[in-house]
Structure 1
Amino acid sequence: MIKNWFKNIGPGPLVAAAFIGPGTVTVCTLAGVNFGFALLWAMGLSIIATVVLQEMSARLGLISQKGLSEIIRSEIKNPILKGLTILLILSAIVIGNAAYEAGNISGGVLGMETILGNPTVILAGFNLNILSVIVGIIAFSVLYIGNYKVLERVLVSLVILMSVSFLVTAFITQPNLSDIFSGLFVPQVSEENLLTIIGLIGTTVVPYNLFLHASLVKEKWHHASDLKYARKDTIIAVVLGGTVSMSIIISAAAIDTQNISSAADLAKGLEPLFGRFAKYFLAIGLFAAGITSAITAPLAAAYVATGCMGWSTSMKSKQFKAVWMFILGLGVLFSSIGFKSIEIIKFAQITNGLLLPIIAGFLLWVMNKSSILGKYKNTIIQNVIGCVIVGVAVFLGAKSILMVFEVI
């Protein structure tokens, strides 16, 4: 039974791996340190929204046997609208993932540094972090093989490692269960926690995962009869990913200080309270979160770019490899020399803020087209829930753009 379950698990854990990156770990850490268990409900809502959208994306990929960017290219008939949409998608996903890739690699490095220290070498006047290069080589090796089954096995293993690490860390802190349930089922919203709530939802409901999921599903399954496996895979993986995020919030809530700004600080803060094992488990979890995102971000960018440009979306094609190599190379370079381009990251945040409601809306529209999905198109209930999520996406997108411009 377990062997059969593993046989039919696939794209879901890769999607979970993509949204639990260093950014998510940091936001969850700050949520726990600053507000305790009070924002667990926001993560619960994020999980529900993510399951709904990712199920639509998976169903679209399985039934149409096309990626989301390929569907957009074929279904938007107006050339101007199509051009603007593709430009926005390429800006948000390709440039955005290039901007965030350095953070993904740096997150993996932070986990390693907690255990191994900080080995650097001076090259051409720059201090190069050796661990950034090591993380880059691991990601490069997995992607270069260009085999979906290998990619799946590596990432599923890393997700399991990450999940166990963060869950054990939360267990070590011995949280009060009644406080956890209160935080999970009693929403608390105030001016102080609103931006953190937006951050929690924004790092879980991720635009590029909608593209990634549709493309990965068609690599794994090819028949409508496999839809039940795709749905089960999506629900289990996203719920597990959300549970991991909650574990980070719970772990951070155990720290009795406000001088925590990252997961590395959290690891150091847990050590005197719960022993060095807490630090090591958290460090391993952070390493796994960083390296999985360092693999999935270039992968998603490659699927998006090749689909939008009408190129082959095969993992072995030259164009596909060129895109992910470009993203990964930039990430390793910026991470190893400690370069942080705030302007590029701000641009990525703006384009992602615009992209989520547009893609969620487009996905909802496509999911009602019988010409693409036939009897597998959305039900009325799915449409109602989808419309609510699109409304929330518009609100979040507007808020995130205003935050970048420091209007709020």
Structure 2
Amino acid sequence: MPVIHHSFIFHSKPNPFTLEKSENNLLKWLRSLGPGMITAALVFGPSKMTITSKMGAIYGYSLLWLVVVAIFFMAIFTTMATRIGVATEQSLLATVRQKWGRGAAVAMGIGVFLVASSFQAGNSVGVGIAAGELFHTSPVPWILFFNALAICLLFFRSFYSVLEKTMIFLIVLMLLSFITTLFWAKPDAAEMAGGLVTPEVPEGSLGLIIAFTASCFSIVGALYQAYLIQERIRINPAVRHGRNDSITGIILLGVMCLIVIVCAAAILKPQGISVTSASDMAKALEPLFGSNASAFFLIGLFGAAFSSVIGNASVGGTLLGDALGLGSNFSSKQVRYLVALVMVIGAFVAIRFGKLPLELIVFAQSVTIFVVPFIGTVMYLVANDASIMGDKVNKPFVKVFAGLGLLIIFALALVNVKELFFNNPLFK
């Protein structure tokens, strides 16, 4: 008699403990994104949108590879700053003060404050233009309104939490608007792939390559990551031993740069439209795809500008406060006042001149030339010091590529010295 085997299938219920654990892990990861998202949002401002639009409008897809290179080095220095923030109980400038003296710390703090204040006008102008063109009004009321709103946000009891949520919202807003624009643009996938994997330096592109690399590989933005991580630790000490993901935010920074270049290559280059500001892309979209396409891009421009208004001012105020011994976190009222001061300076210059004056650009660039290589070197030396970093010290891979990044920073500084002091009509 044949033996009949009965097979039973048991439909077990999902283990609630497993689900809870996976949900907890997801929540922990999402919370860990905050500092990296803030850095990405403050780096991706109106000037970045103008540069990337020009790259696509003039050179098509051929400079896409540059985004990958710049983002790689930005990720190296941002993760390095994250480890510095986790490894040390004190702020980075306090470590600099201890290692090299008060003068070095004060020079770094004042230098970053001056650079942030000088470039803040461009962010305020970007907010005003984006909102003004969306609603067909003058940019001035919007400059006043959004700077006032940003200053109000400063005085929430937990400003860091407000900053984190605001920046994540603005990043999502930018991504949605740019992806929608990309859908309308219908780029050439084969040319995109070629631009990503085949490094090419088209004739006449060196100036834009230098400008993009210097703005995307932002040492000041990377430096601020150490302060953001320590602010998270101050609010929740358990974060020190948890996951701190700074890479995702930097990858999103690269994705946004890629999308704007691709949109400009697909929309502006075929029409031969020259770009003088980020809003030129919105003007080009309207006759092709209608007012909705233009509005979506302007919303992205607004997100980029408003995130930089808050983020850039936060960097300048925090670093100056730390340099002057007034505190290094947002619990200090003096730090909040200094952040507000950067916003007020930017709004005043934006309304008074309607743009970032050439003299102010020259001043900011001249300060940047000396401050950025100094900051990069300081971060590299601190992160290589096992007595400070412990088990968070730079590994050989990071030492090599961060060293290459430093060489790029110094090369950019030398090129900027030549352009600023020898080829600038103001100095002739």
Looking at structure 2, the residues matched to 389 and 142 of structure 1 have their Cα atoms a distance apart, in angstroms, of 35
Look up the SS of the partner of 1:290 in the other structure: helix
Matched, 1:23 2:39: no
Stretches of structure 2 that go unaligned for 5 or more consecutive residues are 1-22
Match of 1:241 among 253, 257, 279: 253
Task: Return the offset for 1:90.
Answer: 3.6
Look up the SS of the partner of 1:203 in the other structure: helix
1:243-264: CA deviations, max 9, x gaps? 1011111111121223321111
Moved more, 378-387 or 251-260: 251-260
Moved more, 16-25 or 210-219: 210-219
Match of 2:368 among 328, 333, 352: 352
Match of 1:361 among 377, 382, 390: 377
Letter in 2 for 1:115: L
Look up the SS of the partner of 1:262 in the other structure: coil
Pairing of 1:237-276 with structure 2 (within 5 A)? 237-253=249-265, 254-255=267-268, 256-276=271-291
Matched, 1:187 2:187: no
Looking at structure 2, the residues matched to 14 and 160 of structure 1 have their Cα atoms a distance apart, in angstroms, of 12
Match of 2:398 among 382, 387, 403: 382
Looking at structure 1, the residues matched to 296 and 180 of structure 2 have their Cα atoms a distance apart, in angstroms, of 7
Which residue is 1:39 aligned to? 63
Which residue is 2:147 aligned to? 136
Looking at structure 1, the residues matched to 380 and 241 of structure 2 have their Cα atoms a distance apart, in angstroms, of 18
Q: How many residues align?
A: 393
Task: Return the offset for 1:6.
Answer: 2.4
Which residue is 2:84 aligned to? 60
Which residue is 1:106 aligned to? 125
Looking at structure 1, the residues matched to 212 and 29 of structure 2 have their Cα atoms a distance apart, in angstroms, of 30
Contact map agreement 1:96 1:345 (CA 8 A) in 2: no
Looking at structure 1, the residues matched to 156 and 422 of structure 2 have their Cα atoms a distance apart, in angstroms, of 43
Pairing of 1:112-131 with structure 2 (within 5 A)? 112-119=131-138, 129-131=140-142
Looking at structure 2, the residues matched to 117 and 69 of structure 1 have their Cα atoms a distance apart, in angstroms, of 45
1:222-273: CA deviations, max 9, x gaps? 669756621xx21111001111011111111121223321111110101222
Which residue is 1:326 aligned to? 341
Contact map agreement 1:91 1:348 (CA 8 A) in 2: no
Change (3 A) 1:64 1:406: same
Letter in 1 for 2:336: K
Letter in 1 for 2:96: I
Look up the SS of the partner of 2:246 in the other structure: helix
Change (3 A) 1:16 1:146: farther
Matched, 1:282 2:297: yes
Pairing of 1:61-210 with structure 2 (within 5 A)? 61-77=85-101, 82-83=102-103, 85-86=104-105, 88-119=107-138, 129-147=140-158, 148-210=160-222
Looking at structure 1, the residues matched to 207 and 91 of structure 2 have their Cα atoms a distance apart, in angstroms, of 33
Looking at structure 1, the residues matched to 206 and 96 of structure 2 have their Cα atoms a distance apart, in angstroms, of 33
Looking at structure 1, the residues matched to 182 and 416 of structure 2 have their Cα atoms a distance apart, in angstroms, of 30
Contact map agreement 1:66 1:215 (CA 8 A) in 2: no
Task: Return the offset for 1:371.
Answer: 1.6
Q: Percent identity?
A: 25
1:314-339: CA deviations, max 9, x gaps? 31323212211211111111212335
For the aligned residue pairs, the C-alpha RMSD in angstroms reads 1.9
TM-score, length-normalised on structure 1? 0.91
Task: Return the offset for 1:4.
Answer: 4.1
Look up the SS of the partner of 2:155 in the other structure: helix
Letter in 1 for 2:146: V
Which residue is 1:125 aligned to? none
1:137-156: CA deviations, max 9, x gaps? 12112222252112211111
Which residue is 2:416 aligned to? 400
Looking at structure 2, the residues matched to 324 and 111 of structure 1 have their Cα atoms a distance apart, in angstroms, of 23
Letter in 2 for 1:257: G
Contact map agreement 2:29 2:243 (CA 8 A) in 1: no
Letter in 2 for 1:163: L
Looking at structure 1, the residues matched to 241 and 188 of structure 2 have their Cα atoms a distance apart, in angstroms, of 39
TM-score, length-normalised on structure 2? 0.87
Moved more, 261-270 or 331-340: 331-340
Looking at structure 1, the residues matched to 74 and 210 of structure 2 have their Cα atoms a distance apart, in angstroms, of 14
Change (3 A) 1:235 1:314: closer
Contact map agreement 2:54 2:274 (CA 8 A) in 1: no
